[in-house]
Amino acid sequence: MKTKFIYGLLTMLCFSLMSSTCSTDDDGMNFNDNSAEISEIKSTVENNSWQITSFVDSGVDETSHYTGYTFTFNSNGTLTASKGSETVNGTWSVTDSNDSDDDSNSSDDIDFNINFASPAMFNDDLTEDWEIVTRSATKIELIHISGGNGGTDTLTFQKI
């Protein structure tokens, strides 16, 4: 009788230990659902006029390159930068990034993606997967840490 009790107790203990080590996530990684925050960010920037108030490329202030440009982030994912009769077209998106190639080792960051095919000034400088540092209804501050040279770029848009 005592043996059956001990056997039963050991069996329950084994099942208890096995169930506590099980996990429902893949590869031990936890991914947060950022869909509500992504939707809020999109809503803030869409169909409004924005200007770059700061752009620092690896410690070099290049804000003046974008003075006079008005940026419009359209709801269909297109992006326009206009200055007088000049218009530069690109695309934009806000995504849930899990690779953290542009920031800390956070697995739940949100990327603000900008893509310009040309001209080089827009493609080389602004085309990145930016991490959002701070945001409000009128301002969004972004950062990108280069994987190549480790330089840090910062970009700030201010609503006009």
* 14-32 pLDDT, tens digit each: 555 555 555 444 444 545 6
Say whether pLDDT at 149 is over 80.
Answer: no
Higher pLDDT, 2 or 63: 63
Q: What is the pLDDT of residue 23?
A: 47
How do residues 40-99 score in pLDDT, each as one tens digit? 999 999 979 999 999 999 999 999 999 999 999 999 999 999 999 999 999 999 998 764
**With helix as H, strand as E and coil as C, how does the chain read?**
CHHHHHHHHHHHHHHHHHHHHCCCCHHHCCCCCCHHHHHHHHHHHECCEEEEEEEEECCEECHHHHCCCEEEECCCCEEEEEECCEEEEEEEEEEEECCCCCCCCCCCEEEEEEEECCCHHHHHHHCEEEEEEEECCCEEEEEEECCCCCCEEEEEEEEC
CATH 2.30.30 is held by the domain 34-159: no
pTM above 0.85, yes or no: no
Residue scoring higher pLDDT (59 or 148): 59
Question: If pLDDT is split at 50, 70 and 90, which confidence band does 151 have?
Answer: confident
Across the chain, mean pLDDT equals 82
Domain boundaries, the chain: 34-159
